[in-house]
Amino acid sequence: MKKSQKTYKLSLSAMTVALSVLFLYGSELIPYMRFPLCFLACFCLQVLLSERLVGRAWLCFLGVSVLSFFLLTDRFSWFAWVALLGHYPMVRGAVHRFVRAGWAQSLCLAIYCNLSLAVFGVVFMLLFDVPIAGLLPNLPIILLVAIAEILIFGLDILYRACVGFYESRVRPLLRQ
C-alpha cells in the first residue's frame, strides 16, 4: 500500500470522527434539529463504508461514542448514537450483503433495531439508574412499538435515498 493511500484512509477516518462528533454536538445546541443532525452523524460513516473500510468505520463508531460521551452534556443524542444510529450503517451493509430478498432485509433490520434499542435501554437503565418508562410518553406500549417500527422503516428509506445520492453524485467528485 502506498503512503498516500494510508494518509487518505487516515484523513478520511479523522474527518468522519470529527464531523460525527460535530453533528452530535450540534444536535444538542439546536434542539429542533436533533434528529436530522443525529442522522447526519450516522451518515458520515457511509463515506468509510463506500471506500470498503468497514473496520475503520467500526473504530470511528467507537471513537465517536467515547468522545461524545465526554463532550455532550445531554445524554439523549449520545444514547441515540450508541443504541441505534452509530452502528446502523455497518449492520445495514452486512444485512444487504448477506440477505438478498428486499422484504427479508427490511425484516432483519427491524428486528435488529428493536433488539438493539431494547438491550441498550436496559443497560442504560441499569448504569445510570434512570427509569426508561419515565422517559416514554404516556401511551400504550403497542402504540409505541408501532411508532418505533414506522420510524425504523422511515430511517431505512431515508438512508437508502441518501446512499444513492452520495454514490451517484458526491463520491465521483471525491475520486477525481
Query: What is the mean predicted confidence (pLDDT) over 16-27?
Result: 94
Comparison of pLDDT for 131 and 63, the residue scoring more: 63
Summarize pLDDT for 70-112 with one digit per residue, the tens: 999 887 888 888 888 899 999 999 998 999 888 898 889 888 8
- What is the pTM (predicted TM-score) of this model? 0.83
- Rounded to whole angstroms, the Cα distance separating 89 from 74 reads 24
Distances (CA, A) of 45 to 30, 127, 163: 22, 27, 11
Take residue 100 and report the three cell numbers written for it. 438478498
pLDDT computed for residue 24 by the predictor = 94
- Rounded to whole angstroms, the Cα distance separating 37 from 20 reads 9
Which residues, 6 or more positions from 32, have their beta carbon under 8 angstroms from its beta carbon? Answer: none
Report residue 145's pLDDT band, with 50, 70 and 90 as the boundaries: confident
- Rounded to whole angstroms, the Cα distance separating 82 from 69 reads 10
Comparison of pLDDT for 18 and 78, the residue scoring more: 18
Q: Check if the beta carbon of residue 109 is closer than 8 Å to that of residue 96.
A: no
Determine the structural domain holding residue 13 and report its residue range.
3-174
Q: What's the number of domains the chain is made of?
A: 1
Segment (H or E) for 44: none
pLDDT computed for residue 116 by the predictor = 85
| DSSP symbol at 175 | T
Report residue 2's pLDDT band, with 50, 70 and 90 as the boundaries: low
Q: Is the pLDDT of residue 157 over 70?
A: yes
Query: Percentage of the chain with pLDDT > 70?
Result: 95
